[in-house]
Amino acid sequence: MAILTESNIKRLLRTTNLKETKYLVLDPGTVITPSAKEYLKDITIEYRKIPEASETKTQDAAFPMTHRLTYEFEMKINIAISHIVTLQKKSHCIGNTELTEALNTILMIVKTVPMDPFASYRADLVQELEKLLEDKKPYIDSYYPEGSFIPTYKDEECVIALFELHAYLQELEHFIAKKMKDGLKFEDYLKCISIATALKEYCWVLMVQMKENQG
């Protein structure tokens, strides 16, 4: 059974066009917490119909489109992996073990998403990142807000590369939010967005740390 929380709603408002459409489709039986309801006062909620047996064949006929979407998603994951590994190589070459290990955490989460997006061990890693972000984000948002701060050519190469990786993870988050909504159960859709958001924000934190530590 899916549970729609305040943090889920805030994430949807930030990553999707929910503010504009004011329309949200949920799986039957989704539980909405009291705090989440405060954010849904002006939003129309509709519950997804459970397909009848006769409708299953029609859905099967649409498989090629689902397959194309899956292929596109896997390609984006592979590109993200290439960005991460390239940056790992750079951090390893300059002897920054801390950054290399942090990037390995991101890599562990990203590279296994297509195989099993909702594995419990990955959920534990994401929760660890989210706890870290709770401590770091107030400072980061005050001095290096996303969308406002941009590194320059004078910054170290790893700072610029982390900025580039953040931008790509932001694009991945947008892809999930816009294109994968109808292909996943609502609970799984929220989990996917949570993973992408946590990785993107963690990457931004790493960039700021590198920025402040540079000579």
Give per-residue pLDDT as tens, 181-194: 777 777 778 888 88
Query: Does the global pTM surpass 0.75?
Result: no
All domains of the chain in start order, with CATH: 1-50 (no CATH), 61-213 (1.20.1200.10)
Average pLDDT over residues 211-215: 81
pLDDT beyond 50 at 57: no
Higher pLDDT, 135 or 97: 97
97 contact partners, CB below 8 Å, separation of at least 6: none
Is it the case that residue 62 has pLDDT exceeding 50?
no
The model's confidence at residue 122, banded by pLDDT at 50, 70 and 90, is low
Average pLDDT across the chain, whole number: 81
| pLDDT tens digits, 79-104 | 999 999 999 999 999 999 999 999 99
Per DSSP, the residues of the chain read --EE-HHHHHHHHHHSSHHHH-EEEE-TT-EE-HHHHTT-TT-EEEEPPPPPHHHHHHHHHTHHHHHHHHHHHHHHHHHHHHHHHHHHHHHHHTT-HHHHHHHHHHHHHHHTTTT-TT-HHHHHHHHHHHHHHHHHHHHHHHHS-TTT----TTS-HHHHHHHHHHHHHHHHHHHHHHHSTTTS-HHHHHHHHHHHHHHHHHHHHHHHHHHHH--
Structure tokens at 95: 């002897």
Output the pLDDT for position 61: 37
- Which residues, 6+ apart, have CB-to-CB distance to 44 below 8 Å? 22, 23, 24
Largest CA distance in the chain: 66
The pLDDT tens digits of the residues spanning 108-120 come to 888 877 656 555 5
| Burial of 139 per CB tally in 10 Å (0-12, 13-18, 19+) | exposed
Return the higher-pLDDT residue of 41 and 211: 211
C-alpha 96: how far from chain center: 26
Q: Give per-residue pLDDT as tens, 160-209.
A: 999 999 999 999 988 888 888 777 777 778 888 888 888 999 999 999 99
